[in-house]
Structure 1
Amino acid sequence: MIDDEQAGAVVDAPAERNSRKPMLIGVAVALLLALGAGGYVWQARQGTHAATGRAKAPDVGKAELYLPMDPAFVVNFRDAESLRYLQVGVTLMSHDPEAINVAKTADPVLRDALVALFSNQDYSIISDAAGRQKLQEQALGAVRKIVQARLGRPGIDALYFTSFVMQ
């Protein structure tokens, strides 16, 4: 009889364990659902708060917009030995359509600033890659300054030299 009682006790113990397993799974699923719902609500509130709390900044994830400044810039500048010419093709890039529109309307002002910048260059400086890079940065700064004055933010993300010919 002792063997029968022990066998019965052994059989009953796994039955209790199995009855707890569905309950634990149910609690875990309910906990995960509650955490997921809480995270969703938190994200939704953060998005609403950000949209109503601050001015809208341009979305960097937007497509790149290009504005070629045609015709190319042609300026003359002095070298120690002679008069030299520089032809520069310029294209502006932005992720902000408003900045592109401002640059289009301010084209004469931008062209004037860039002509003044390009004509004041020294041949020995812009004849190497580092000098052209510095000139490109200066040109971007000049364009950003003009667009910022009209738009309230720099707006232009990059300035590219699409052609660069010196003679």
Structure 2
Amino acid sequence: MSDAAAAPAPKSGPSMLVVILAALVAAGAAGAGVYFMTAKKDKGEEAAHAEEAKATTKTPALYAKLDPPFVANFEAKGAMRFLQVSVEVMTRDPLMLDTLKAHEPMIRNDLLMLFGNQKYEAINTSEGKERLRAEALETVRKIVTAEGGDGAKVEQLYFTSFVMQ
């Protein structure tokens, strides 16, 4: 019985030590891998947030109102029609406001010609008004560019009043 009670003790020799060391090395490598993977993502996220912050902190929009409102007449189905349009131009460059003011007579002339050459049926729809707005914006950009300015800095043109009779 004494032989049965004295069961052999498990080996705790060099093989068990190797297994424990291998497990520690694997855990350390996994931890280092996770650290480096998340550290790169954080830097990428920081760069993305910085770009997003730059995009949201644009310079404020500046508007140049072309006064008085434009009044153009045109014929529609044998009757004389009138169009009255108030226009504002948007830019973010303060110097562009001076450029627009300096060339306002030329801008007004070309926009009056554009508005007077419209067909009632074409601008009676919202698509027609949007097309006319895009043409007016392009007209202003061309004038600014032709006069030595940067037409691309004229970002938008808005109709703040649009009346047809």
What TM-score does the superposition give when structure 1 sets the normalisation length? Answer: 0.65
Mapped contact 1:91–1:159 kept (Cα < 8 A): yes
CA distance 1:128–1:21, shift in 2 (3 Å): closer
**What CA distance in whole angstroms lies between the structure 2 residues aligned with 1:166 and 1:142?**
21
**What CA distance in whole angstroms lies between the structure 1 residues aligned with 2:10 and 2:77?**
113
Mapped contact 1:113–1:142 kept (Cα < 8 A): yes
C-alpha displacement at 1:31, in angstroms?
5.1
1:3 aligns with 2:8: yes
Aligned length: 147
Letter in 1 for 2:157: L
CA distance 1:92–1:152, shift in 2 (3 Å): closer
C-alpha displacement at 1:67, in angstroms?
2.2
Q: Spell out, residue by residue over 1:59-90, the C-alpha distance to the aligned partner (whole angstroms, 9 max, x if none).
A: 89624332222221122223343332211011
C-alpha displacement at 1:110, in angstroms?
0.9
Residue of structure 2 equivalent to 1:160: 158
Mapped contact 1:75–1:115 kept (Cα < 8 A): yes
SS at match of 2:109: helix
1:73 aligns with 2:78: no
- Which of 134, 143, 148 is the aligned partner of 2:145? 148
CA distance 1:18–1:92, shift in 2 (3 Å): same
Q: For residues 1-167 of structure 1, what are the structure 2 equivalents within 5 Å?
A: 3-4=8-9, 6-8=11-13, 12-13=17-18, 15-17=20-22, 19-20=24-25, 23-24=28-29, 27-28=32-33, 36=40, 62=58, 63-149=60-146, 150-167=148-165
C-alpha displacement at 1:18, in angstroms?
5.3
Consecutive unaligned residues of structure 2, counting only runs of 5 or more, are 1-5, 48-54
**What CA distance in whole angstroms lies between the structure 2 residues aligned with 1:140 and 1:27?**
57
**Aligned-residue RMSD, C-alpha:** 3.5
Letter in 1 for 2:153: G
SS at match of 1:92: strand
Letter in 1 for 2:101: K
**What CA distance in whole angstroms lies between the structure 2 residues aligned with 1:75 and 1:60?**
39
Please say which structure displays the higher CA radius of gyration.
2
Letter in 2 for 1:16: L
Consecutive unaligned residues of structure 1, counting only runs of 5 or more, are 44-58
What TM-score does the superposition give when structure 2 sets the normalisation length? Answer: 0.66
Q: For structure 1, which segment, 93-102 or 143-152, has the greater mean C-alpha deviation from structure 2 after superposition?
A: 93-102
SS at match of 2:85: strand
